[in-house]
Structure 1
């Protein structure tokens, strides 16, 4: 989990995306509270790296559903990212992060 968080390449599971969303929301709230209590509006600069990471992770989640990362700009598509299951098997963005349909099942035949 959380490999190459700055990269827009590949696919991630729903759990990793949702955990990233949770961390992003909590950290943004903490930054906002600090900005209000310390009266330091320059702390807003800290939100930009968090936003970049969240956008990158969301693009990888779009890839997991077989779509371009640009799909995250569609209104309410974030709900699709949160609740939809991965597409079975590999796609043009990489192997299924769950390992389902990647051919690993064939390698396990006879080992059980």
Structure 2
């Protein structure tokens, strides 16, 4: 789990996507809480951290789209990320790679 987190290649399971979603949600709430203080230094640090967190979120979403056999571009559709939390991935290998469920369970996907 959590290999190549900033890469847009491959597929991930719902579990990894859900954990990624929770991490980003916690980060977003933290930003909201800390930016209320109006401290320029804190706001600047959080904005700098926001860029890699957004990349992380988009990459994880794209890989989850790949698990469904869809293009990673679907991740930019509003509320599609919520669907990704519940949708079952394609069984077996697809054009984006091996089934992450089989790979993580130690079963050969070939």
| Separation in 2, partners of 1:48, 1:79 | 21
Report the TM-score, using the length of structure 1 for normalisation.
0.83
Structure 2 equivalent of residue 64 of structure 1: 67
Runs of 4+ in structure 1 off by over 4 angstroms are none
1:78 aligned residue (76, 81, 90): 81
| Separation in 2, partners of 1:37, 1:76 | 30
Query: Structure with the greater relative contact order (CA < 8 A, sep ≥ 6): 1 or 2?
Result: 2
Q: How many matched pairs?
A: 104
Q: How far 1:13 moved relative to its partner?
A: 0.2
Structure 2 equivalent of residue 30 of structure 1: 30
Structure 2 equivalent of residue 50 of structure 1: 53
Structure 2 equivalent of residue 13 of structure 1: 13
1:88 and 2:91 are equivalent in the alignment: yes
CA radius of gyration, larger in: 1
| Separation in 2, partners of 1:80, 1:29 | 21
Q: How far 1:75 moved relative to its partner?
A: 2.8
Structure 2 gaps, min length 5: none
Structure 2 equivalent of residue 104 of structure 1: 108
